[in-house]
Structure 1
């Protein structure tokens, strides 16, 4: 007897959209929403709040570039649209800004802690969903915190794309090198955005990717 798939709930079905490039129906969390701007341009809508019909594209660089080059935005909208030059780069920058803003919100909500000892304690206790390391931090300190992450009962994922100065500005502090995003709903929401970013760039600088714990794939 052939097994049948369980029917989707109404809520799950409502969160699905069709990728205009592949034609695949998938969850919104795996897609980037675009809308038509007032001057018939293509506008990214990462927060999914702008008015107008959404044009959905899989959250990766190749899909966004294909949609722009092959006129798929125009086909989906049934109107002549002009995607801006470098649309995929624009999406990537907007995602990085959104992630940075998310860290600031997490700090104010008490979901973010900084400092080697505090981060190490949270990681050892299995309470950290993410360890966010300054991209330009010293290699010795980074190796130590990643070794702690390797031994954690719940190894956190690792993010290393923001410099110490950027983290300091977002968190209202100085010399921010080691940060932990504590597990919870805030971290879950941040993770969704991080996963979309992985379609555009790795989560770690190439210069220290080999230091990443094997257990924490960074999605």
Structure 2
């Protein structure tokens, strides 16, 4: 009696073949569109509200804060609880389809990287003459309508922080952890208040500050402004 050998299962020849048709479609859509799907929550959000990670050749999870490194990215919502879930419950390994190495201080690496990016933008604004610091100058810009963004140190006087914003409730505010950190961008030991002109640099600083606020667990002063319609539930 002739026996029939079972047909061997063809080995996938590319990453795309490991994915379901739905996942493959999502990858193509996400690479071309303005939204990315979080590997933990499965919610799509604008890239500016997320952090991208890539896997290095030696399988180490690397934060890609500029979203420019080569390779398929793993996107996470810029939230402390999401990053902790991804770190402790295998989300990186599942998304990477294999073993990965996660730095024990990954959260701090991301926070420090975002702070550096914020200070880099502040430095660019300083060289371009688009930022001032000090209560009097910031207050002048706020009252005169020149300020597109106010930056404040979290360890500054709460009363002074409120006073400098008096009468400007709708003005975007970014908060950095310390006055010494903000002062470094100006070559000073201590700066509590700064203001940036309307424009691209102010927009970039605000994006980084929003991501930092989410990942560090600090409430953003502008979080109420975010519209629920900006995010799209996965599968809708």
Name the structure 2 match of 1:103: 122
Report if the CA contact (8 A) 2:176-2:182 is conserved: no
Normalising by structure 1, we get a TM-score of 0.77
Name the structure 2 match of 1:202: 218
Pairing 1:58–2:77 present: yes
Q: CA RMSD in A?
A: 2.8
Q: Distance in 1 between matches of 2:112 and 2:210?
A: 15
Name the structure 2 match of 1:171: 186
SS in 1 for 2:57: coil
Q: Displacement, 1:164? A: 3.0
Is there any run of 5+ residues in structure 2 with no aligned partner, and where?
Answer: 1-28, 227-236
Q: Displacement, 1:20? A: 1.0
SS in 1 for 2:69: coil
Q: Distance in 2 between matches of 1:12 and 1:183?
A: 30
Deviations 1:136-173 (A, max 9, x none): 4455644532xxx2313x64233343433322221224
Q: Displacement, 1:40? A: 0.8
Report if the CA contact (8 A) 1:203-1:218 is conserved: no
Report if the CA contact (8 A) 1:34-1:56 is conserved: yes
C-alpha distance 125-217 of structure 1, shift in aligned 2 (>3 A): farther
Pairing 1:132–2:151 present: yes
Normalising by structure 2, we get a TM-score of 0.72
Match of 1:192 among 194, 199, 207: 207
SS in 1 for 2:214: coil
Q: Distance in 1 between matches of 2:85 and 2:65?
A: 19
SS in 2 for 1:96: helix
Aligned residue pairs, count? 197
Q: Distance in 2 between matches of 1:130 and 1:85?
A: 34
Alignment of 1:20-39 (within 5 A): 20-39=39-58
